[in-house]
């Protein structure tokens, strides 16, 4: 029971096999399935991103692996900490943008840095829950094709309040995502503009 491409031996106990686990067809390589989990090189290092499937060599775009965690999956403390740290830095950027109301260059710089941090948060989505990705996507959409002058101070204050709320939440569920969306809509931020 060797995986041909990786050379790794099986660590699946024989008791976990089912009689219909071995499937072979003329066009597909041998695949072993144990209780719904495909046994290949992928199974042993799920977070490692490569340009293909390590067992078969089939290519797939790396971005396909970026999707959010499946429902019910546990978020690692490291991912939670990273998210909270970046969100906290976003609050700082927004505070600077609000304080530098008269200084358009400083305000612009603060918002540009905020956009960079939102990109960092987006990169974390593979380790976070689905609502996290939805919220970050929405927040990134707010800054699409918009200039710094397009944001009033009231809108930035509303945005900062939203980031502060996100900082306090270890897990973002549908309810939090909805309340955030509603708050931004009420604060005059057109969160669905990016889908125009």
Partner 1 sequence: MSFEKLNSDHIACSPELFLDTSIHCSKLKGSLFNDRIEKVFALFKWKSTSTYAKVEYGNVVLGQVEYFLDKLHEFKSLEKALDFIANVLPHKLHPAKVTWSFNLLKAYGADDTECTERARHSLRLLMKLGVAFVEELCDRPLANGTDCYWARVGVHKRKDGRLEWRTPICKRTRKRCRLDDFFADNKDVFEKIKVAIDSLPEDRKTAQLRAFSDVIGQAMLDPGMLLDYRPGCKRLADAIIAVDSLGYKSIFSQNTAESEVLTTVLGQAFYYLPPNPEQGVLVQLPPPA
The correct pick among 11, 58, 64, 105 for binding partner 1 (CB under 8 A) is 64
| Interface positions, 10-49, toward partner 1 (CB under 8 A) | none
State yes or no: residue 97 binds partner 1 (CB under 8 A).
no
* Contact string 155-184 vs partner 1 (x = CB under 8 A): -------------------x--xx--xx--
CB atoms inside a 10 Å sphere around CB 184: 22
Say if residues 156 and 94 touch (Cβ distance below 8 Å). yes
Return the range that interacts with partner 1 (CB under 8 A); candidates 18-26, 103-111, 133-141, 163-171: 133-141
Task: Give the ranges where 6-151 is alpha helix by DSSP (H).
Answer: 41-44, 77-99, 104-123, 130-142
State yes or no: residue 85 binds partner 1 (CB under 8 A).
no
State yes or no: residue 144 binds partner 1 (CB under 8 A).
yes
The correct pick among 2, 25, 74, 186 for binding partner 1 (CB under 8 A) is 186
CB atoms inside a 10 Å sphere around CB 102: 7
Report the run of H or E that residue 153 belongs to, with start and end.
helix 153-168
Instruction: Classify residue 92 as exposed, middle or buried by CB count within 10 Å of its CB (0-12, 13-18, 19+).
Output: middle
Say if residues 86 and 117 touch (Cβ distance below 8 Å). yes
Nearer to partner 1, 103 or 174 (CB): 174
Strand order in the sheet with 22-23: 22-23, 31-34, 37-38
Nearer to partner 1, 9 or 70 (CB): 70
Contacts to partner 1 by CB under 8 A: 61, 63-64, 66-67, 71, 130, 133-135, 137-138, 141, 144, 174, 177-178, 181-182, 185-186, 190-192, 194-196
């Amino acid at each position: 029971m060797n995986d041909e491409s990786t050379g790794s031996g099986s660590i699946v106990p024989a008791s976990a096999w089912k009689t219909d686990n071995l499937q072979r067809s003329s066009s597909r390589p041998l695949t072993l399935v144990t209780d719904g989990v495909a046994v290949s090189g992928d199974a042993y290092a799920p977070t490692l991103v490569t340009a293909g499937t390590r067992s078969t060599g089939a290519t797939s775009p790396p971005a396909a692996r970026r999707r959010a965690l499946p429902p019910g999956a546990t978020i690692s403390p490291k991912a939670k900490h990273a998210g909270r740290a970046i969100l906290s830095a976003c609050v700082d950027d927004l505070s600077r943008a609000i304080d530098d109301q008269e200084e358009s260059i400083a305000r612009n710089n603060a918002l540009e840095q905020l956009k960079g941090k939102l990109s960092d948060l987006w990169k974390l989505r593979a380790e976070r829950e689905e609502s996290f990705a939805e919220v970050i996507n929405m927040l990134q959409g707010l800054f699409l094709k918009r200039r710094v002058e397009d944001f009033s101070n009231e809108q930035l204050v509303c945005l900062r309040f939203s980031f502060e709320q996100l900082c306090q939440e270890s897990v973002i569920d549908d309810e939090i995502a909805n309340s955030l969306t509603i708050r931004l809509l009420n604060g005059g931020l057109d969160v669905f503009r990016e889908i125009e």
